[in-house]
Amino acid sequence: MSGFFKSSVGRKVAMALSAFFLMFFLLQHFAINLLSVFSPDTFNEVSHFMGTNPLIQFALQPVLIFGVVFHFVMGFILELKNKKANGVGYAKNNGAANSSWMSRNMIWSGAAILAFIILHFIDFWFPEINTKFIQGDWSGTIPGVEGYRYHEELLHKFVNPVRVAAYVVAFVFLGLHLAHGFTSAFQSMGSTSGRKKTLQTIGKAYSIIIPLGFIFIAIYHYLNH
C-alpha cells in the first residue's frame, strides 16, 4: 500500500477517489441546505436526523473529515512533487497555450476553498461539537423556542454581509476548482476514453449549478433574515 502512494499514478488515483467522495458529499450537503429555503421544517427534521444518528456521527463523520484532510494534503503533495520533477508548478508544464487557467491554478483555488472550510467549521461544526459533546445537549432545540434550532442558527450566520460575501467568493473558487477537477478525476481513473466531451459537459454543469445553488442559499437567507 505504501508503494501505491509513492507512485505518481497511485497518488493521482487516490486524489481522484477522494474527489469523487467529496463531490458526492457536496451534492448531498447542497440538497439538505436547499431545504432551508423551501421547507424550513423539513430542513430541521433532516438536520436533526443527520446530527444525532450514531452511524453518521461516529462512523461517517470521521470518514468525511479524513477525506477532506486527505484530499487537500494529497493535492499539495502532488503540487510539490510535480514542481520538483519539472522545475515549474503542477499543470504549468505546457504553458498557458495548451492548458486552462483553472488547471494551472488548482493549488490556489484549493487553498481558498480550504480557508472557507475552516470558516465553515468555525461557523457550524465547532459550535455543534460543543453543544453535543461538551454540553451534552442532543435535543436539537433552543430553550423556550418551539421546534428544532438548526434553521434559526443558519439564518443567524447570514446576517453579516461580510460573511455572506466571503461565502459567495468561496463558492466562486469552488466552481473554478470543480470545473477542472471533475473531468481530471475521471481522467486519473482512466474513465474518459470516448466519453471526454460528455464528462466535460456534466462537469461544467456540476461546477456551475452546485456553487451557484449555495450562493443562492446564502443570499436568500441574507435578504430574508
The set of cell numbers assigned to 176 is 473554478
Q: What is the pLDDT of residues 41-76, one digit of tens each?
A: 999 999 999 999 999 999 999 999 999 999 998 888
User: Residues with Cβ < 8 Å from 13, sequence gap 6 or more?
Assistant: 188, 189
Phi/psi of residue 211, each to 5°? -60, -40
pTM, two decimal places? 0.85
Q: Long-range pairs for 79-84 at CB < 8 Å and ≥24 separation? A: 79/106, 79/107, 81/8, 81/11
| Helices and strands (DSSP H and E) totals, the chain | 11, 0
Residue listed under C-alpha cell 477542472: 180
At residue 70, the 3 state secondary structure works out as helix
- On whether the CB atoms of residues 160 and 211 are closer than 8 A, the answer is no
Q: What is the pLDDT of residues 136-181, one digit of tens each?
A: 999 999 887 788 999 999 999 999 999 999 999 999 999 999 988 8
Q: Is residue 135's pLDDT more than 60?
A: yes
Which pLDDT band, with edges at 50, 70 and 90, does 91 fall under? very low
Rounded CA separation 222/157 (Å): 9
Q: Compute how many other C-beta atoms are within 10 angstroms of the C-beta atom of residue 53.
A: 13
Rounded CA separation 65/165 (Å): 25
pLDDT given at position 6? 62
Distance of CA 150 to the CA centre of its chain: 20
Distance of CA 118 to the CA centre of its chain: 11
Look at the alpha carbons of 211, 77, 21, 151 in this order and tell me if their dihedral is positive or negative: negative
CATH class of 2-223: mainly alpha
Cα angle vertex 172, ends 127, 27, to 5°?
A: 60
**Overall residue count recorded for the chain in this entry:** 225
